[in-house]
Amino acid sequence: MTGRDAPWPLLDLDVAQIRAAGREPQSFRQFILKIHSRCNLSCSYCYIYEMSDQGWRQQPVNMSWSTVSTIAYCIAEHVRTHDLYGVEIILHGGEPLLAGVARITELVELFRAEIPDNEMSFSVQTNGTLLDRSMLEMLKELGIRVGISLDGDAEATGRHRHNARGASSFDDVASGLELINSPEFREIYSGILCTIDVRNDPVATYEALLKFTPPTIDFLLPHANWAHPPPGAGYADWLIAVFDRWYSAPEQETSVRMFREMIQLILGGRGSADGLGLQPSTLIVVDTDGSIKQLDSLNSAYPLAASTGLDVFNNSFDDALEHPTTVARQIGEDALSDQCRACPVMQICGGGLYPHRYRSGIGFRNPSVYCADLLRLIFHVRARVTKDVNDLNTAQPRPLGGCPEQRPGPRGVLPSMSARTGRARRRAVAPPLRGSPQPPRPWTGWPLPSRYTDDRRPMRSGNWSRFPGPSRWPRPGCRRTLGLPHS
């Protein structure tokens, strides 16, 4: 990684000045561990194996036990130093399930023994081809939630996601999805990750994913930047078609992370994921050899862009907090280009996903290469949500059931609201209606976390399931949730 490739932030960002101005680092809360460096698929858009950065060839295939225990020590140190609650360990690769049942079990047990009790959670992001019964039993036993990558129906998935022989992975993934979607394993099913290809019909793609009743769908724009433009055009139209299909459905069929976050930000809430909003990123990666890195997707800008030069044997995670690439992702508006800072939707867009801002010779202080698409999509979503909220504002006030500051009324019903006026609120505050049962522990996908994240102790003292007290917190369905006065 050199400053020549990215003067901003590597050369031009003055970390000492930022700290002197009172900008404190935000401790890491999500740790991505690349526990296996190889994959049993070779997807054509993969930013690890199919792009110019071939650094994976030098990585050990598996994380050694000395690396695993050193990482556990470093995370425990970070948790204790910053008095953290609710850190998330995300098992990644390559294909993390290639590590096997025994290895994953030992790794999770070691982490649970080493790291203080802090409501730590585990998840895995997998290509889904290895999800057989024994694997799912182990994941369920260990409480590891599972996200699966799939690009739509057989044709859409077959465009990019194939094995080394060139055969589509769809059938293997579909059987894994059917198994995890069964009542026996549904509780560890967290959702589907879908990379957009504009050649696929948007609504058909969304409906193909819905057949697997995912709790959440996450649509990803293909990794691109000003030096390597996107592989197609019309991403706004594609996403608007999916949004309208999702938003207009008579009942909420699933949660779509991008739209949920957008609505939350439009309503004045705070974002909770990379790619939208101005909240600091608190995510860090540890590679198979123990090196501390930024997200692999940064390597789509130029080789080794994700490297920090740090590792768990010689550095702490606090050292990584002071690295310019971390600081750049934690200073919100100050990391944006002048064009973004003057943009009317800056608070919602946040300049787009960090890797998508790269331009050769300048670095990452540019609008997203998807700027025009993001602008159109946000204007569209905002227009629909604003109309619904305005309708809600002018609706005849009626008592709201279950709200602590209202007199008792029928529970769970907003009788004065039409289906349309209720839609924005439901999309923002409700978990998916379809699919059951809900996960047994606090659902980390709550779309209105701001009151908790501001508290810096999310999920500890209360959440929408464990209500901490009527005097301070509004319930879902309360008009205060939308920042509206009680009437």
Binding site for ligand SF4 (CB under 6 A): 339-340, 343, 345-346, 349, 351-352, 367-368, 371, 374-375
CB of 340: closest distance to ligand SF4 in angstroms?
A: 3
CA geometry: angle 42, 45, 48, nearest 5 deg: 70
Q: Which residues contact 214 (CB under 8 A, 6 or more apart)?
A: 189, 191, 192, 254, 435
CB of 345: closest distance to ligand SF4 in angstroms?
A: 5
CB of 265: closest distance to ligand SF4 in angstroms?
A: 12
115: closest CA among 29, 47, 196, 176? 29
Residue number, 360 or 416, with CB nearest to ligand SF4: 360
Neighbours of 161 (CB within 10 A): 25
Termini Cα distance of the chain? 57
Compute the distance between CA of residue 282 and CA of residue 262 in angstroms, rounded to an integer: 19
Residue number, 268 or 410, with CB nearest to ligand SF4: 268
CB of 327: closest distance to ligand SF4 in angstroms?
A: 20
CA distances from residue 368 to 275, 365, 382 in whole angstroms, order as listed: 10, 9, 19
Residue number, 120 or 371, with CB nearest to ligand SF4: 371
Residue number, 152 or 367, with CB nearest to ligand SF4: 367
Residue number, 184 or 333, with CB nearest to ligand SF4: 333
CB of 18: closest distance to ligand SF4 in angstroms?
A: 21
State the DSSP H helix or E strand holding residue 122, giving kind and residue range, or none if neither.
Answer: strand 121-126
CB of 132: closest distance to ligand SF4 in angstroms?
A: 42
Compute the distance between CA of residue 176 and CA of residue 173 in angstroms, rounded to an integer: 5
Residue number, 367 or 474, with CB nearest to ligand SF4: 367
CA distances from residue 243 to 129, 276, 290, 379, 381 in whole angstroms, order as listed: 29, 16, 40, 12, 8
Q: Which residues are bridge partners to 255 per DSSP?
A: 216
